[in-house]
Amino acid sequence: MKNDGIKEPIQKKWIWLLLLLIVLAIVPWYFPESAVEPFVFGFPLWAFLSTVFTLVLSAYLSWLCLKQWNIVEDEEEAERAEEAQR
Amino acid sequence: MKLTFAGMDGIIILSAFAVIMLVIGYLSGRGEKNLHHSLSGYYLAGRNLGFIALFFTLYATQYSGNTIVGYAPSAYRTGFSWLQSISFMTIIIGVYLLFAPRLYVVAKRKKFITPTDWLEFRFKSKAVTLLSIFLMLWGLGNYLLEQLVAIGQAVAGMTGGTIPYQIAVIAFVLVMLAYEWMGGMKAVAFTDVMQGIILMVGIFVFLIGALYLVGGNFSEVTNYIQQSEPAKVAVPPAETSINWLSMLVLVGLGASIYPHAVQRIYSAQSERTLKKSFARMAWMPPITTGLVFVIGIVGLMLFPNLDTGGSEQLVGLMANKIAAIHPIYYWMMIIFFGGIVAAILSTADSVLLSFSSMLSNDVYGKFINPNASEHKKVMVGKVGGIVAIFGLLIIAWNPPGTLYQIFVLKFELLVQVFPAFVLGLYWKKMSAKPVFLGMLIGAALSGYLTLTGHKTVYGIHGGVIGLMANFAVCVLGTIFAKATAKSALKEEDVSVLELKA
């Protein structure tokens, strides 16, 4: 499907690849058993790193919503502006 | 949970909350003549929810009282690997991005009311429509039941048994039915604004109180746990990681296509309000389930060695202790418990509304009396919802044990609608027969696994295994049946799906 000028997340592979990588960093499958210490802000090391990646996920998804999604917004906002003028 | 500190004060706060909700419901419905004569007016707030209402209704609906009362004990029992609750609530937004942008546009153009409208438009198959209605109503009914049980436990606990379980449920169900009757989705969304704010404030105050009790030092808590129960801070074993990943799939896919969640996409005033709301929602898990996680971990130091049943009372136990710090905390804890009740109501009301809309639009409007006026359809849904609630109440009088287990159960069948719902949006060759078979096999498999006690296999949830089978049948079936099957889509349908004007 080709529609110029619109942004839809499903059409961009890198979005989903990056999402998968972040998820794989959140799930703590790759830590050695020793990754408990040091404690960082009271979190065991593995839990701290997992939480950091969880926050990265929030930031990433939030950014995607705002910047990589634009299908009918311009059209709708133009209509609303027109209605407001009337 | 049993709270000894509240009693009469709790009744006063709860009554005040109830009155405010009724007033909001009354104001939302006042002067709206169209509200009760139009399906989209009543069930989708006229497709005109602005940013604040949309954000809070997404928030308060997604996070229920269980998010606190059930998740703090989960953190207590599982330790740091319960951090998964932040990521599995966040990933829901990622799954929305798979389908919400296009579904929003298609739903506006084709004027969908329920998720079933989309499936009917896409597959034009009675079998697919009926099976998906069944799965979604089943999931919603179970979810609603869970909320009803939770309301009773929260209120009875908070008032120290002054208001018994049954009376608590009936009273709050009546309040909910009344404001929903008056204002439909608009009332649900506006009460969600109030309910969501109380929930957020409540969690913060509770966390501050809990940290105060352990001397404000979270590191000491972790040190203590490492001494007493090292498994709870250790790097999780492989099976826990697999389970974590499985939970991300199950909750992400399941929660994003909850009928009431989908209807919030339909209700958005514009694409801009929808994406702004989702962008904010992506940040809510750290400050909701994340803080509740910390509360549960602190509980390990305050009340060590509770068994499963005992840990379910954790929030009540902690609230008692926090309330004893100072009179200000006492009142804050009462407001906090009111917040839990508000959070449960804000989820229950949305689920009920969605349930009613499917009775109105899908069961009655598609199969029983398609020619009925919209006013009549709305009435059927409202009355049907009330009948369903009282049916569920009879079951709620014998509440099941651990709250969290019911939470996983309801997803297993509901999530089977996902392949049809999302693949259908992009894969025009996908045909009804494999979709129906996939849904049926997926539902049967996950139902079977769950009922035979195989809730997880090597850490993977039965619902996820059923879903994999479902996807396989949908995809392989469509590929192999391609030669014989004719697409259900007309040319004009295709152009709507391809977002052409």
User: How confident is the model over B469-483, as pLDDT tens digits?
Assistant: 999 999 998 888 765
Average pLDDT value for chain B: 86
Q: Which chain B residues touch A50 with a CB distance below 8 Å?
A: 83, 87
Residue-by-residue DSSP string for A32-46? -TTTT-S-BTTB-HH
Residues 10-29 of A with CB under 8 A from B: 10, 15, 19, 23, 26-29
pLDDT in tens, B137-189: 888 888 888 888 777 777 776 666 677 777 878 888 899 999 999 888 889 99
Residues in chain B: 501
pLDDT at A2: 47
Q: Residue B101 and residue A71: Cα distance in Å, rounded? A: 7
Nearest to B272 among A29, A64, A77 (CB): A77
B7 touches chain A (CB under 8 A): no
Farthest CA pair distance, chain A: 68
Query: Cβ-count burial of B211 within 10 angstroms (0-12 exposed, 13-18 middle, 19+ buried)?
Result: middle
Asked if B97 reaches chain A (Cβ–Cβ under 8 Å), the answer is yes
pLDDT-wise least confident of A1-10, B112-121, B253-262: A1-10
Interchain proximity B222–A9, CB inside 8 Å: no
| Interface contact flag, B226 A31, Cβ < 8 Å | no
Q: What is d(CA B398, CA B391) in angstroms, rounded to the nearest whole number?
A: 13
**% of chain B exceeding 70 in pLDDT:** 93
Which of residues 27 through 86 in chain A touch B, CB cutoff 8 A?
Answer: 27-29, 31-33, 35-36, 39, 41-44, 46-47, 50-51, 54-55, 57-59, 61-66, 69-73, 76-77, 80
Domain ranges of chain B: 8-36+51-112+129-403
CB pairs < 8 Å spanning A and B: 142
Plot region of A12 (φ>0 → left; ψ -120 to 50 → alpha; else → beta):
beta
Q: Given an 8 Å threshold on Cβ–Cβ distance, is B283 in contact with A41?
A: no
Higher pLDDT, residue B128 or B160: B128
pLDDT at B408: 46
Q: How far apart are the first and last CA of chain B?
A: 55
- pLDDT tens digits along B298-324: 999 989 888 887 788 888 888 888 888
Contact state of A1 with B499 under an 8 Å Cβ cutoff: yes
pLDDT of res. B291: 92
Distance from CA of B284 to the nearest CA of A (A): 9
Quick check: B2 pLDDT over 50? no
Nearest chain B residue to A18 by CA distance is: B94
Which of B64, B124, B39, B40 has the alpha carbon at shortest distance from B343? B64
Kindly report the pTM of this predicted structure.
0.90
Q: What pLDDT, on the 0 to 100 scale, is given for residue A1?
A: 46
- pLDDT tops 50 at residue B407: no
Task: Kindly indicate the confidence band of residue B398, based on its pLDDT and cuts at 50, 70 and 90.
Answer: low
B384: number of CA atoms within 13 Å, CB side? 21
* Cα angle for residues B484, B486, B491 (degrees, 5° grid): 155
Secondary structure string (H, E, C) spanning B120-133: HHHHCCHHHHHHHH
Q: Based on DSSP, count helices (H) and strands (E) in chain B, helices before strands.
A: 24, 2
Pairwise CA distance, residues B256 & B282, whole Å: 13
Candidate from B248, B270, B280 with C-beta closest to A23: B248
Residue B49, beta-bridge partner list: B268
Radius of gyration of the CA atoms of chain A, in A? 20
| B217–A46 CB contact, under 8 Å | no
Long-range contacts at A20-26 (CB < 8 A, ≥ 24 apart): A22/A53, A22/A56, A22/A57, A22/A60, A23/A57, A23/B87, A23/B91, A23/B245, A23/B248, A25/A49, A25/A50, A25/A53, A25/A56, A26/A50, A26/A53, A26/A54, A26/A57, A26/B87
Contact flag B218-A9 (C-beta cutoff 8 Å): no
Name the residue facing A58 among B90, B97, B104 (closest C-beta): B90
Q: Which of B92-106, B344-358, B460-474 has the highest mean pLDDT?
A: B92-106
SS3 B460: strand
Q: Inter-chain contact A54–B234, Cβ cutoff 8 Å? A: no
Decide: residue B287, CB within 10 A, 0-12 exposed, 13-18 middle, 19+ buried: middle
Domain ranges of chain A: 9-85
Bridge partners (DSSP) listed for residue A7: A70
CA distance B195 to chain A (A): 23
- Across the range B473-494, mean pLDDT stands at 76
pLDDT of B10-19, one tens digit each? 788 888 889 9
Query: Which backbone phi and psi does A58 adopt, to 5 degrees?
Result: -60, -50
**A8, A42, A54 ranked by CB distance to B218: nearest:** A42
Phi, psi of B456 (to 5 degrees): -135, 145
Strands (E) in B199-282, as ranges, are none
- Structure token pair of residue B142: 């179970």
**pLDDT digit string, tens, across residues A27-72:** 999 999 888 888 899 899 999 999 999 999 999 999 999 999 998 8
Q: How many CA atoms lie within 13 A of A44 on its CB side?
A: 26
Q: Per the CB < 8 Å rule, is B90 touching A54? A: yes
Q: Contact at 8 Å (CB) between B392 and B411?
A: no
Note whether B315 and B339 are within 8 A (CB): no
Nearest in space to B359 (alpha carbons), one of B47, B110, B137: B137
Contact B86 A51 (CB under 8 A): yes
Answer yes or no: do A69 and B286 touch at CB < 8 A: no
**Listed range (A82-86, B76-80, B238-242, B416-420) with the worst mean pLDDT:** A82-86
Top-level class of domain B8-36+51-112+129-403: mainly alpha
Report d(CA B71, CA B453) in Å as an integer: 22
Render pLDDT for B433-468 as a digit per residue (tens, 0 to 9): 899 999 999 998 988 887 777 777 888 888 889 999
